[in-house]
């Protein structure tokens, strides 16, 4: 008991770190060709260190199989935060061709088998991968925030349409199962993008309907913090401003 108290004082006195786990929409360099991920635009709003571990093309499954959650677990310290946001690469079907990213369907403890890269892989559901990762980090004394995926360009048809993918709901299920914080980042981005209008938002998607420009990534990062502040998530204490555009949802 005493040792734990001393430890938590020690770690709060040291600089803490926010780890980011996600795909190209969060990663440094985004989807290439001048796009960028929102994880690159977090640091202006916090004095904490940022460790952006997001990497393009990854799903909850492939990030896990690559050992990238393990890398974070090896580094994370008590009092740090880990933000987990996936969904863009998690869909699809395991048959006839497994792309190595598709999760097992379902929201619970369902298991699928698939031979990928010569290995008969045990594949979990999207919520199970996130719940396992969250449990690993909380056991190490870190705090976890599961965040819903960013929207594809909601103005691409000419009128505003935001239909959250099933992984948005799955992210919330994972957070509830693990007992960790959740923000609906996707809904906050969509709300701000609706008010910005089609010309501005279309300009944020220079190569396709998924990957944002630098200007777009900055707004996506601000939308994340708006969700954190509106949600009363304790990560707010790491911020040096609580003023972000948009409305609370």
Ligand X SMILES: *[C@@H]1O[C@H](CO)[C@@H](O)[C@H](O)[C@H]1NC(C)=O
**Of these residues, 93, 208, 237, 243, which one is catalytic?**
208
Q: In the annotation, is 185 catalytic?
A: no
Q: Quick check: 115 binds ligand X (CB under 6 A)?
A: yes
Tell whether omega for the bond before 30 is within 30 degrees of 0, i.e. cis: no
For residues 200, 226, 181, 217, the Cα torsion angle rounded to the nearest 10 degrees is 30
- In this structure, what DSSP letter does residue 100 have? S
Q: Quick check: 119 binds ligand X (CB under 6 A)?
A: no
Q: In the annotation, is 80 catalytic?
A: no
Q: Quick check: 44 binds ligand X (CB under 6 A)?
A: yes
Indicate the SS3 state at residue 53. coil
Spell out, one character per residue from 120 to 159, where the chain touches ligand X: x when CB under 6 A holds, - when not: x---------------------------------------
Q: Which region, judged by CB under 6 A, interacts with ligand X, from 88-96, 99-107, 113-121, 172-180?
A: 113-121
- Nearest CA to 143 out of 194, 198, 81 is that of 81
Min. distance of Cβ 47 from ligand X in angstroms? 5
What CA–CA distance (Å, rounded) separates 164 from 141? 32
Min. distance of Cβ 118 from ligand X in angstroms? 11
Q: In the annotation, is 208 catalytic?
A: yes
What CA–CA distance (Å, rounded) separates 190 from 215? 15
Q: Quick check: 245 binds ligand X (CB under 6 A)?
A: no
Q: Quick check: 5 binds ligand X (CB under 6 A)?
A: no
Q: Which residues contact 210 (CB under 8 A, 6 or more apart)?
A: 24, 25, 31, 88, 152, 153
**Residues found near ligand X in the complex (CB under 6 A):** 44, 47, 113, 115, 120, 240-241
Residues that are catalytic? 24, 208, 211
């Amino acid at each position: 008991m005493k040792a734990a108290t001393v430890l938590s004082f020690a770690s709060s006195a040291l600089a803490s770190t926010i780890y980011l786990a996600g795909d190209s929409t969060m990663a440094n360099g985004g989807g290439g060709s001048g796009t960028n991920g929102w994880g690159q635009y977090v640091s202006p709003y916090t004095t904490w260190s940022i460790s952006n571990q997001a990497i393009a093309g990854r799903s909850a499954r492939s990030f896990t199989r690559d050992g990238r959650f393990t890398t974070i677990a090896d580094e994370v310290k008590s009092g740090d935060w880990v933000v987990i946001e996936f969904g863009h690469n998690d869909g699809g079907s395991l048959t006839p061709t497994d792309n190595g990213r598709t999760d097992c369907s379902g929201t619970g403890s369902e298991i699928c088998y698939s031979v990928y890269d010569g290995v008969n892989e045990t594949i979990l559901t999207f919520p199970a991968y996130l719940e396992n990762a969250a449990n690993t980090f909380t056991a190490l004394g870190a705090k976890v925030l599961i965040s819903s995926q960013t929207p594809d360009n909601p103005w691409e048809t000419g009128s505003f349409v935001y239909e959250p993918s099933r992984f948005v709901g799955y992210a919330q299920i994972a957070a509830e199962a693990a007992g960790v914080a959740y923000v609906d980042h996707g809904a906050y981005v969509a709300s701000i993008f609706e008010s910005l209008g089609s010309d501005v938002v279309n300009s944020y998607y220079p190569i396709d309907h998924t990957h944002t420009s630098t200007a777009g990534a900055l707004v996506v990062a601000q939308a994340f913090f708006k969700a954190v502040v509106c949600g009363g998530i304790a990560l707010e204490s790491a911020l040096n401003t609580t003023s972000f555009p948009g409305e609370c949802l």
